[in-house]
Structure 1
C-alpha cells in the first residue's frame, strides 16, 4: 500500500492541528508504531511539504505495509533540523488494540467530559486507528480538548 493522496486528518484535527502546526494523529500513530519520538519543536522545523508527506503515510498496524516512514522522518530531520528522533520500545499490547475492552483512560476521559463511555460493542466496532486515537487522547488524567470532538466524529457522542 502506498501513500494516501492527501494528509490523513480527522475533522476534529483540521482546526486543532492548525494546518499541520501540531503533530496529527496519523503521524503520532506511525511514530508510536516505529518507536520514534520527536518534539513539537522538531516537527515545526520541518517544511510544510514534509509534514504533509509524513501525514500521508498509511495507518495500518502492519509495519511491513509502509516501512519507509521512519527513513523519511530521519532524512527530513537530519536535513532540516540536524537532529534525529529518539527511540523507544513500542508497547507489545497497547490497550487500544484490544477490541473487547474499553481502556480505562477512555472511560476516565468520558467521565471528565460528561459523556457516556463507548460500550464494549461500540468499541469493538471502531477501526483500530480510531481506537488508537481515542486511547492517545485519553492518556493523561486531565480532560483533553480534542476528546469530545473525536467522540462526536466517531459517532460515539451526540
Structure 2
C-alpha cells in the first residue's frame, strides 16, 4: 500500500480530521497490523503533532514494528498505562478474496449488495474501513457515507 494510502483519511471522517479528536481508520489499520490496542484516552493524551505523526507513519513491515515500539514507549508513563497488545491477524477479513459475511449482511440490511469484483476493486484501507464500520455494536452512521465515497450502490 503506498504511503498516501497508509495515511489516507476518508471524506466521511472529515468532521474530526485536523483536530484528530478520534482515531482515524488509517491509524486503526496500522494498530491492528502492529498488534497494538490504543485507547482513545491514549490518543487524546498525545499532542496534535504526535497524532499527525501517527497518521503519516508508513505501513511497511519494519515501519509497523517501529510503530508498535514507539507507542509502547510513548504510552508507558501515561495515566492509563501503556498500550495493550493484540494478536496480529494472520488472515484479516479485509484481505479476503470476497466480502466477509459481516459486510454482506450489513449491506443486505441496507438494501445494498457487493460483488466479489466490487470488493476486489476497493483498496485495502477501504475494505478495512468497511469491516470496521459493520462490526456489531458499532455506530453504523458512517457506513452509508463510506458506501457513497467508495461508489458502492
Superposition deviation, residue 108 in structure 1: 2.2
When normalised by structure 1's length, the TM-score is 0.82
Q: 2:129 corresponds to which residue?
A: 133
For 2:103 and 2:77, the matched residues in 1 are separated by: 38
CA contact (8 A) 2:34 2:64 kept: no
Aligned length: 152
Could you tell me which runs of 5 or more consecutive residues in structure 2 were left unpaired when the two chains were aligned: none
Seen in structure 2, the aligned counterparts of structure 1 residues 3 and 71 have a Cα distance that, compared at 3 Å, is: farther
> Is the deviation greater in 81-90 or in 126-135?
81-90
Seen in structure 2, the aligned counterparts of structure 1 residues 150 and 34 have a Cα distance that, compared at 3 Å, is: same
Seen in structure 2, the aligned counterparts of structure 1 residues 140 and 127 have a Cα distance that, compared at 3 Å, is: same
Superposition deviation, residue 72 in structure 1: 2.6
Higher helix residue share: 2
Superposition deviation, residue 2 in structure 1: 9.5
When normalised by structure 2's length, the TM-score is 0.84
Q: Secondary structure at the match of 1:156?
A: coil
1:10-66 residue CA offsets vs partner (Å, 9 max, x unmatched): 11111155721011001100110011001111111111111111011234xx42355
Q: 1:88 corresponds to which residue?
A: 86
Moved over 3 A (4+): 1-4, 64-67, 78-82
1:112-135 residue CA offsets vs partner (Å, 9 max, x unmatched): 4x2412211100111112111111
For 1:30 and 1:75, the matched residues in 2 are separated by: 17
